[in-house]
A and B are shown apart, each in its own frame.
Chain A
Amino acid sequence: MQQSMTEFKNMTEQAVPKMSARDIHVRYGDNHAVKGISLDLHLNEITSLIGPSGCGKSTFLRCLNRMNDSVAGCKVTGQILLDNKNIYDQNIDVVQLRARVGMVFQKPNPFPKSIYDNVAYGPRIHGLAHNRTDLDEIVETSLERAGLWQEVKDRMDSPGTALSGGQQQRLCIARAIAVNPEVILMDEPCSALDPIATAKVETLMDELKSEYAIVIVTHSMQQAARISQKTAFFHLGELVEQGDTTQIFTAPRNEKTRDYITGRFG
């Protein structure tokens, strides 16, 4: 009785998940890359996906905004609910979905355009700004929230590709939040950055989590432990264990998880 009461309390405390994956399978031809993953993602939380290379965590991440659609031979089954609507439904507009679920990639990939145009591109194609002043404001606030405004405000016309690696990645984050998404997916955003730039991006993520649900794929156990509230451990396409980050890193229930986080394999 006592136990069920706490469970009930936990459930009400837990808000309704922003996104939840239900039994997701991904196949590339004969290769069964992701095997039945179910995972909830919440607002104001950073969820880390960890696991050895090739375990399907990036593939799973790319399912969350249907980036896998354009990959030849890729087949996704199962449901992913965004605000209780299946994003794999026939009548879902993929373009709109990707505006709601933004993405930051492993390698900084600014467009070969000016810094301003990089950030303004999303709002422009979605018609978010009604005039130039609106657009200027969106660009400025996005860059400010990405912590880049002070560094680039005097050279908005210089190419985004001329920035340093860390600045480029923060520009990509500014670009992603300029379209006002609800969820941000990050695929190893710091793997190409030096420790100082990494620290900046991590601080930024910590600030951003107050407004978004953030999912990050990372190979750095320390990073997952530092920044995320929830952690999911993938292995060979399966979700081995998920839970609070502190619990996963201090008292993993599964032996494979323990081996992985203590560095015994992977």
Chain B
Amino acid sequence: MSDDLNIKPTDWQSPEMVRHTQMRNRREKRFKLFGLSAVILAASFLFLLLGKITLDAAPGFLQTSIEVDINFDKAVIGDPRQMGRDAFIENVRRTNMLRLVQASMDIYFSEVTDRRDRRRLLRLFSAGARDQLRNMLLADPMIAGTSKRVSLLASDDIDQVIKGHTDISLPELQRKVKNKELSWLQKFEDDDRVSLHFHSLFFTSGDSRDPELSGIWGAAVGSALTLFITLIIAFPVGVLSAIYLEEFAPKNRFTDFIEININNLAAVPSIVFGLLGLAVFLGTMGLPRSAPLVGGMTLALMTLPTIIIASRASIKAVPPSIRDAAMGLGASPMQVVFHHVLPLAFPGILTGTIIGMAQALGETAPLLMIGMVAFIVDIPASFTDAATALPVQIYLWADSPERAFVEKTSAAILVLLTFLIVMNALAIWLRQKFEQDW
């Protein structure tokens, strides 16, 4: 009759047990609270960032124009009927169109006669006003000799005044826009000739020294060409490596070594890949500098480990019972992979690839090393043309001294973020489309 065999039932109502339960509940509550506050903190930072960028970017999509009465004087630009079409076009190309603007200003501000002041009047307008007038004439030579009210792009300094980004209460000496310009601008405003409108040029032009003429299209095309090269190199190579390593490679020290190195490669700072691209693609292979071809190859090197790791993980996640079933029916190893493993692993591979591509899209450092940081005005037309990429464009504009580039920078960031969000949404959509149950 020993007592220790006599097991007493637990008294759940005892003060000790009640306290224990209370403490456990408190701990649970506290943990949930921590988690919730972490999520709220992260979300608010994200919100703050997106909100700030969007607010900064909004004026970047707008541009000030000033309406001016232009007399397309035949004495200045020539007469298309007399000269013939080709000679007229040639003449228009050579003529300084600002003379038309000057003539218009001389009439509008007849009180301004000083040579310097007359030139300052011209500077209210963007250098792009020239091209605007020239393109109008080239599109329709018959307007020669007529008068027309034309909406000309304002210069970036005037644009900033209209958008309220210039502090006009500062002493005149500390301002770029002086009192005279302000008074002239006031006259335009009084006549209701100043308008702020959507700036489509921002989406269609390449880079420029003038903020009001610079656009994102050159960089977007550069990014697209670069990413295309990245995709066609990194996707097949990455997926094939993953399949081989996961399904066919013997498990030995050598493959372990390769696996460790692939994982290490994923953690290598991206600028190192840039240096590699500089040394190998430009140095040894002599490929053109600043080209999307080289950029894409460099980014492919950087994206490969991401794709391989993601693909291996999703191949590994295919249940072995499916492999057994196929093998038991006499499917060859290749048939097992292509008929059963790949279709099931495909959503994961696709997601990994798109995430890798999104990473590549946002990468700046390696592109700096291979010269894609150059100032390039033309829209790249091929893989070997000099080009830049969206994040590099952002970097370049952020570095520019003009106040107007601040909003352009934010606008470009917004465009880049839109690209990224679209790519990630695509990844999610594809994943759900291809996902199957098993």
Q: Which A residues lie at the B interface, using CB under 8 A?
A: 65, 67, 70, 72, 95-99, 102-105, 107, 109-112, 121-122, 125-126, 159, 161, 172, 175-176, 179
Complex interface: chain A residues within 8 A of B319 (CB): 109
Contact (A112, B329) CB under 8 Å given A72-B251, A105-B321, A121-B339 = no
Residues of A within 8 A of B331 (CB): 95, 121, 125
Instruction: Decide if B330 touches A109 in the complex (CB within 8 Å).
Output: no
Q: Is the CB of A95 within 8 A of B332?
A: yes
Residues on A with beta carbons closer than 8 Å to the beta carbon of B140: none
In the bound complex, how far is the Cα of B436 from the Cα of A66, in angstroms?
Answer: 30
Question: What separation, in Å, do the CA atoms of A179 and B330 have in the docked complex?
Answer: 9
Known: A99-B329, A125-B329. A67 touches B438 (CB 8 A): no
Supposing A109-B322, A112-B437, A121-B339 touch, asked if A103 and B344 sit within 8 A by C-beta, the answer is: no
> Chain B interface mostly helix, strand, loop or mixed?
helix
A122 touching B330, Cβ below 8 Å: yes
Complex: chain A residue closest to B332, CB-CB: A95
Known: A98-B330, A112-B436, A125-B330. 14 other contacts (CB 8 A): A65-B328, A67-B324, A67-B327, A70-B327, A72-B251, A98-B329, A99-B330, A102-B329, A104-B328, A105-B321, A105-B324, A105-B328, A112-B344, A121-B331
Taking a contact as CB atoms under 8 Å apart, the answer to whether A126 and B330 are in contact is yes
- CB neighbours (8 Å) of B204 from chain A are none
Q: List 10 A-B contacts (CB under 8 A).
A: A65-B328, A67-B327, A96-B330, A102-B328, A105-B321, A111-B322, A121-B326, A172-B325, A175-B329, A176-B329
Q: Which residue of B328, B335, B436 is within 8 Å of A176 (Cβ)?
A: B328
Q: Determine if B321 and A107 form an interchain contact, defined as CB atoms under 8 angstroms apart.
A: yes
Partner of B325, one of A72, A96, A109: A109
**Most A C-beta atoms less than 10 A away, residue of B251, B324, B344:** B324
Q: How far is the CB of B251 from chain A (nearest CB, A)?
A: 5
Q: Does B335 lie within 8 Å of A125, measured CB to CB?
A: yes
A99 to B329, CA, bound (A): 6
**Which A residues are CB-close (under 8 A) to B251?**
72
CB neighbours (8 Å) of A172 from chain B are 325
| CB pair A67 B328 closer than 8 Å | yes
A103 to B344, CA, bound (A): 22
Contacting pair B326 A111 (CB below 8 A): yes
Q: For the complex, what is the distance from the CA of A98 to the CA of B328, rounded to whole Å?
A: 6
Chain B 313-368 interface residues, beta-carbon cutoff 8 Å to A: 319, 321-322, 324-332, 335, 339-340, 344
Question: Which residues of chain B have C-beta atoms less than 8 A from A70's C-beta?
Answer: 327
Chain B nearest CB: distance from A168 CB in Å?
Answer: 11
Q: Known interface pairs A112-B344, A112-B436, A112-B438. Does A95 touch B330 (Cβ–Cβ under 8 Å)?
A: yes
Q: How far is the CA of A97 from the CA of B344 in the complex (A)?
A: 26
Chain B contacts for A99, CB-based, 8 A: 329-330
Q: In the complex, which residues of chain B have a beta carbon less than 8 angstroms from the beta carbon of A176?
A: 328-329
Residues of B within 8 A of A109 (CB): 319, 321-322, 324-325
| Distance in angstroms between the alpha carbons of A97 and B340 in the assembled complex | 20
Q: Which residue of B lies closest to A106 (CB)?
A: B321
**Complex Cα spacing A65 to B331, Å:** 13
What residues on B are CB-neighbors of A126 within 8 Å? 330
Looking across the interface, which residue of chain A has its beta carbon closest to that of B331? A125
Shortest beta-carbon distance, A247 to chain B, in Å? Answer: 32
Q: Report the minimum CB–CB distance from A6 to chain B (whole Å).
A: 40
A69 CB to closest chain B CB, in angstroms?
9
Interface residues of B in 214-252 (CB under 8 A from A): 251
In the assembly, what is the distance between CA of A72 and CA of B256, in Å?
Answer: 14
Q: Please report the C-alpha to C-alpha distance between residue A112 and residue B344 in the assembled complex, in whole angstroms.
A: 9
B344 closest partner in A (C-beta): A112
- Min CB distance B326 to A, Å, is 7
Bits for B292-330, please: 1 = Cβ < 8 Å to A, else 0: 000000000000000000000000000101101111111
Min CB–CB distance A135 → chain B (angstroms): 15
Lowest 6 CB-CB distances: which A-B pairs, in order? Answer: A99-B330, A103-B328, A109-B321, A98-B330, A122-B329, A112-B438
Alpha-carbon distance A111/B436, docked complex (angstroms):
11
Q: Compute how far the CA of A176 lies from the CA of B322 in the bound complex, rounded to whole angstroms.
A: 14
A159→B436 CA distance, assembly (Å):
10
Compute how far the CA of A125 lies from the CA of B331 in the bound complex, rounded to whole angstroms. Answer: 7
CA distance A98 to B326 in the complex (A): 10
User: Which B residues are CB-close (under 8 A) to A159?
Assistant: 437
Q: Considering the chains assembled together, what is the distance between the CA atoms of A105 and B327 in angstroms? A: 12
